[in-house]
Each structure stands twice: as structure tokens, then as C-alpha cells.
A and B are shown apart, each in its own frame.
Chain A
Amino acid sequence: MVEYLYERDLSQMKYIIVTSPLHETVLAELAEHYGLGRQAIRRKMIEECDMSFLENIPARYEVWKAEDSPRDPMERQLGMRLLTVCIPMLSPEEMKAVEASVRSQISEGIPEAEAYEAGMEAIREMIRR
């Protein structure tokens, strides 16, 4: 049986990474889009990503922006791929639940803008949690 080694707390070093000038640019855009404070997004990133991943966030964000998927209105609004693959702050299951709820609201005749706003609120809750 393998004995697992438990690790020291890397939060402080991770915080230094996510406050670099290039990270600030990404955080500003994410904070504006999702209507969240930068510190809440930073905290979620620090919790979910390892150090090398955190360093690579600005490049991964650019990859997402350059992809075709942001042209899809739901991806552009909710950033499903952005938040699960490019910058994995949420699990695919969590995001699928949000997507399913938004789709069911749209199919029930609720205006798209309202359904997207409900989806965004759910995402905000998950990030703040």
C-alpha cells in the first residue's frame, strides 16, 4: 500500500502568481463578465489549480478566446469550456447541471437573457462557495 505524503500549504506562493500583471488583465475580464470580485475568483483559482497551472492561466484564457466555441452564444455567455477545461474552476458535472438548467428554462419559454442570467448566478454561487 502506498503511503501518501501530505503537503505544505502553498496558498501564499499561489497568491503571488495570480497577482502578476498578466493575471490581473485576465482577472479583470473574468470579474467583469461574471460580476464577481477579483478576490473571489483568485481564491477559487488557488483552491482548484496547482502552481504550474496558475502560471499558465493567461495563455489558456487566450486559447479560449481564440477558439471557435466563444461564438456559440451559450459558451460566450456562460464560458462552460472556459471554466471546466481552460481554467478549471468548476467540475464538468457542476457545469453540466448549470447547462441543463439553462437549456430547460429556454425550452420552457423563459427569455434567453433571463435563463443565462440564472445560469450566471448559479456559476457565481459555485465560485463564491
Chain B
Amino acid sequence: MKRTVDVSLPIGPVHPVFKEPCRIKCETRGEYVLNAEIELGYVKKGIERIMRGRPWQEVMFLAERVCGICSVIHNMVFIEGVELISDISLTDRAAYLRVIVNELDRIQSHLLANYSYCYTIEHETLAMYLLNLRETAMDALERLTGARVTCSYIIPGGVRFDLSEADARWLQETVDTIDSELTRFVTMFKTGSLIALRSKEVGIFTREEAIESHAVGPTARASGLTHDCRLDHPTYRRLDFTPVVYTEGDNYARIMVRFDEVFQSTALIRECLDRLELGKIRGGGEVIAGTSRWAGEAPRGELTYQITTDEYGRVMNIGIRTPSIMNIEACAHYMIKGVLSAADVTSTYISSDPCIACNER
């Protein structure tokens, strides 16, 4: 049997800082990590095969079950792919409501990722503050969509529920709270000397490596790449949006990109609320036969759906490329390789915000 790594330090599949099971196999010399690889396959779902042959109404629910952390974007990209095939148009109000819910999902996902990182580097106080703040975003998601995780909010031609005046005011206050609380926590992160010791110049990931491995999302933007699918999205293009980019490529930069993107998300939500005009939240249309390839910016980066439907609206073939596929590979072969301490393996891995559920779709 082929061995690509001589394993001297196995981490996982069950480990206190891992949210999901995977095994990091490291080849070490003393504390120095010479090589690493990630073993997957503990929670493989085979969801692409389960989706095949089913009507879009069923696949829509399956799509958001690919990942429990960023379910909204899976729902959104699948539905937008179906809309692209069938030329179904969207009302303005529904388009802005989709962005609001998607950005709330991004806020909770980024806060969870940064919570995990702080927990991994043993800064549990800040970790718990962030996890508590995440609940504020989860409450907002629940109030808007009726569910915390698998919301099924986005449907072809619109969204499922409208936003009342009272809910809009409450949401405005909620994002204000998130902003003010997070400002305090980011200051704690920036000024923590022990945090800097564990994060700065650790797990370096260069721009060239990011291009080669097709890294996406905050992981790539922390290494100087500006790619963000929101730049190509019709609704985001109407909003004032510029990607957050850092150039250091270390753990610190990856966490800071996510913190800054939370502030950016709250600004986008405010802008959408300002632009929200009264109107319909659902259009009409019928799903027809065709093929589409559509990508959206998930909290972890570019999420692509390649969909083929038949004339009855059944999904005949579907390929899902989640951002964690690229980022986990980049993490194993570039970031972890060369870290000076075995203790930095877990923190570097968590800094790339790996989602095994997405990877093992």
C-alpha cells in the first residue's frame, strides 16, 4: 500500500478541538512538521447520488443538508442554478431579503470559525464571548426564516417569508449590537500578546500557493487574493461591496479577514434594509430541462453547483464543489507543512475553517 506520509503524529479523527471527524497525519522531526496529509471518509454522505433523479423540490431540501453551518448558501446557490436553467426572474424585495439572510448566515459561520480558533489556542474567554454573539445572529436567522439551521428560505423566484416593519427594526438593532460587541472582542484579539504569539507568522500560506491549490474565501483573501463570488452576483453588484483582503497569509490574517467580513456583512444588511421597498416576495415560473453551473460565495468561499434537469424538473445530474475541498487540501499541503511546533498543527488547521460535512458531501 502506498504511503505518502510516514505518520509519526496522528491527530484525530476524534479530537477536542475538531468540530467534525478527520485525521491529520503528520510526519515530524522533533516538533517540526515535515509533511502532512488529511484522511477523510468518516462521514461521507454521497448526497450527490441521493439527489440524482429526484424532483427539484426534494433536492432543494437535500442541498441545505450538505452542511449544517452554511446551509443558507447551499439553498441559495442550488435555487439560483435552477432559476438560471429556467429563466425565472426575481423581485427586488426578494433579492435583498436573500442577501440579508445569506449575510446573517455568514456572520454566524465566521463567528463560529473564530470561536473555534480561540478555543484551539486556549483563549476560552474570548471563544465563549464569540459563541454567545453567534447566538444573536442565529436568533435573527430564526426570526426571519423560522429555523436556525435548515431554513429552506429561498425558493425559485423569491423567498418564503416577508420581513415585517417590526422585524426590520429589530434586525437593525440586532446588527448594531453585533457591531458594538464585536468591536470589543476584536480589540481583545488584536491586543492579546499570547494570541499574537500563537497566530502571527504561523501557518504561512503564500499567494502563489493559494493560486496553485485554488484556495477560496477568507483563506485565499488572507493571502492577498481578491477573488470573491459576490463581485459577480447581480444583487451584490448593486450594493457597496469590496472584498476584505490581507496579505500576510498567516493564522492571524485568516481570523482577521473573518472578523472584518462580519462588519462588512452587517453593513450589507443595513444597506439592504435601506433599499428594501414594498413589493412581492415571490414571482412565478416553471422549472424546465437544461444545464447550469452557478457559483456563490459561501462563508468559506466559492461554492459551485453544476445541475442538469429534465423537462419534469427532476435533477438528472448534480456536481457540488464546496469551498472546504480546496481549503482543506491547501491547509494539509501548504499551511501545516513546515510549522515549527506540533501544537500549531491544530490551530493552523482550524484557522482555515475546515468543514468536513461540506467536503464529504
Contact status A55-B319, CB under 8 Å: no
| Nearest CB of chain A from residue B118's CB, rounded to whole Å | 25
Closest to B52 in A: A21
| Nearest CB of chain A from residue B208's CB, rounded to whole Å | 11
Contact status A56-B8, CB under 8 Å: no
| Chain A residues positioned under 8 Å from B319 (CB to CB) | 20-22, 25
Q: Which of B3, B28, B37, B321 touches A58 (beta carbons < 8 Å)?
A: B321
Q: B48-66 vs A: 1/0 string, CB under 8 Å?
A: 1000000000000000000
Q: Which of A5, A9, A52 touches B7 (beta carbons < 8 Å)?
A: A5
Q: Which of B214, B306, B332 touches A63 (beta carbons < 8 Å)?
A: B214
- Asked, given contacts A21-B48, A47-B2, whether A13 binds B41 with beta carbons under 8 Å apart, the answer is yes
User: Is A3 engaged at the interface, CB distance under 8 Å to the other chain?
Assistant: yes
Contact status A16-B46, CB under 8 Å: yes
Closest to A25 in B: B319
How far apart sit A98 and B297, CA to CA, in the bound complex (Å)?
41
How far apart sit A47 and B4, CA to CA, in the bound complex (Å)?
9
- Asked, given contacts A13-B40, A51-B39, A63-B211, whether A5 binds B10 with beta carbons under 8 Å apart, the answer is yes
User: Is B326 engaged at the interface, CB distance under 8 Å to the other chain?
Assistant: yes
User: Is B212 engaged at the interface, CB distance under 8 Å to the other chain?
Assistant: yes
How far apart sit A87 and B48, CA to CA, in the bound complex (Å)?
23
| Chain A residues positioned under 8 Å from B318 (CB to CB) | 21
User: Is B162 engaged at the interface, CB distance under 8 Å to the other chain?
Assistant: no
Contact status A50-B1, CB under 8 Å: no
| Nearest CB of chain B from residue A10's CB, rounded to whole Å | 7
B231-269, CB < 8 A from A = none
Give the number of residues in B that approach A within 8 Å (Cβ atoms).
37
Contact status A21-B4, CB under 8 Å: no
- Asked, given contacts A50-B5, A51-B40, whether A59 binds B326 with beta carbons under 8 Å apart, the answer is yes
Contact status A50-B4, CB under 8 Å: yes
Q: Which of A2, A4, A9, A16 touches B44 (beta carbons < 8 Å)?
A: A16
A1-19, CB < 8 A from B = 2-7, 9-11, 13, 16-17
Q: B321-346 vs A: 1/0 string, CB under 8 Å?
A: 10001101100110000000000000
User: Is B25 engaged at the interface, CB distance under 8 Å to the other chain?
Assistant: yes
Contact status A50-B37, CB under 8 Å: yes
Closest to A51 in B: B40
- Asked, given contacts A13-B44, A20-B48, A21-B306, whether A56 binds B3 with beta carbons under 8 Å apart, the answer is no
User: Is B359 engaged at the interface, CB distance under 8 Å to the other chain?
Assistant: yes
Contact status A51-B38, CB under 8 Å: yes
Closest to A67 in B: B211
Q: B19-44 vs A: 1/0 string, CB under 8 Å?
A: 00000010011000000011111001
Contact status B40-A9, CB under 8 Å: no
Q: B217-235 vs A: 1/0 string, CB under 8 Å?
A: 0000000000000000000
Q: Give the dominant DSSP class at B's interface.
A: mixed
How far apart sit A21 and B37, CA to CA, in the bound complex (Å)?
24
| Nearest CB of chain A from residue B33's CB, rounded to whole Å | 12
Contact status B321-A22, CB under 8 Å: yes
How far apart sit A59 and B39, CA to CA, in the bound complex (Å)?
19
Q: Which of B3, B5, B212, B359 touches A55 (beta carbons < 8 Å)?
A: B359
Contact status A3-B214, CB under 8 Å: no
- Asked, given contacts A16-B44, A60-B213, whether A4 binds B38 with beta carbons under 8 Å apart, the answer is no
Contact status A50-B332, CB under 8 Å: yes
Contact status A56-B329, CB under 8 Å: yes
User: Is B89 engaged at the interface, CB distance under 8 Å to the other chain?
Assistant: no
User: Is A75 engaged at the interface, CB distance under 8 Å to the other chain?
Assistant: no
How far apart sit A62 and B213, CA to CA, in the bound complex (Å)?
10
| Nearest CB of chain B from residue A62's CB, rounded to whole Å | 7
A29-86, CB < 8 A from B = 47-53, 55-56, 58-60, 62-63, 85-86
User: What would 5 A/B residue contacts be, using CB atoms closer than 8 Å?
Assistant: A5-B7, A22-B320, A51-B37, A52-B332, A59-B213
Q: A-contacting residues of B (Cβ < 8 Å)?
A: 1-8, 10, 25, 28-29, 37-41, 44, 46, 48, 211-214, 306, 317-321, 325-326, 328-329, 332-333, 359
Interface contacts beyond A17-B40, A20-B319, A47-B2: sample of 16 additional A-B pairs, CB < 8 Å, sorted by A = A2-B29, A4-B6, A5-B7, A7-B1, A13-B40, A21-B48, A21-B318, A21-B319, A51-B38, A51-B39, A51-B41, A53-B332, A59-B214, A59-B326, A62-B214, A85-B212
The 6 closest A-B pairs by CB, nearest first: A21-B319, A13-B41, A56-B329, A59-B214, A50-B37, A22-B319
